[in-house]
Amino acid sequence: MKNIPSIQATPSQPRKLAALKQAHQDWSSASNVITRLTQRLSTTLALEEQLGILAEELSDIVPFDTLTYRHRIARQEFVYSTGLGGQHRCEYRLNLEGDFYGTLTICRRQRFSEEELQGIETLIGAAIYSVRNACRYIAIEQAALTDSLTGIPNKRALDDNLLRASSLSDRHGQAYSLILVDLDHFKQVNDTYGHVAGDHLLRRVGECLERALRTSDSVYRFGGEEFAVLLPHTGEQDARDVAERIRRTVSEITVDAGGERITATASFGVATHLKGEQPEQWVARADEALYRAKQKGRNRTEVFAAIA
């Protein structure tokens, strides 16, 4: 058996342990605003909750009318705002170790004194590490929901949003429509021009879909050469019109492949959510409509119409 050396306590160890215990007690019971702020911020990685905590602690020190935070994290715009009004403002770009973590703007009706501005900066300095961690957490979450090739949300993100859309549609009676998009003869592109050209074409299609939609709509890479578009507050006929507009736009795409121009067409299947329908049933109906579009010659839109 291998001998494990024993660990001998040093004469100063009890004092160090006692000092550590006392430091923890002092930290836990501290009543100053900086310690309280950092303690509260450490309890959550949710950026919105952290900004609410910062706004609450700040308002006790420096009264304000509006606090707004803006930051683009990965591909999404994050905005937090509390309060209303105020023509005098102070604005801070949150930078830490060379990285940017958003802009914080504070407004009120009266001018800020130099002492108040110093107080705001002190609290921001205490909060910025937690804000940094929350931003990084959001970025990691978004990366898990993003297709690495096209940069648009992936099937996992689609599954989450379909479940949410189904629930909202059932609860509020709102119309939600789903469009499945499949590039026609995409395998031939890869076989003829190579996967680099095929990947470039997929990226162009993803960009095309995003540009063709409203800000409330969302596009996903469903898998392979297939994409999905989720349209809130959109009925069957309007969804068909959107699909036709996208179809025409896709047909205008060209990609340079070693001096040759690659063009593309796509087939579209549309289905509007039915009350009580599960997401997988909804997707299956859109997929059936897409199959019909393929069977009828491709480069067309088919709608899975609800039976009256």
Q: Which of 116, 225, 226, 277 is catalytic?
A: 225
First to last CA, the chain: 80
- How wide is the angle at C-alpha 43 spanned by C-alphas 37 and 49, nearest 5°? 75
The CA distances from residue 172 to 72, 73, 160, in Å, are 31, 31, 18
> Which tokens go with 248?
């025409």
Q: Specify whether 91 is catalytic.
A: no
The Cα–Cα gap between 150 and 152 comes to: 5
Report the phi/psi class of residue 147: left, alpha or beta, with left for phi > 0 and alpha for psi in -120 to 50.
Answer: beta
Structure tokens at 122: 């002190």
Beta bridge partners of 177: 231, 272
Place of tokens 């801070």: 92
Known catalytic residues are 225
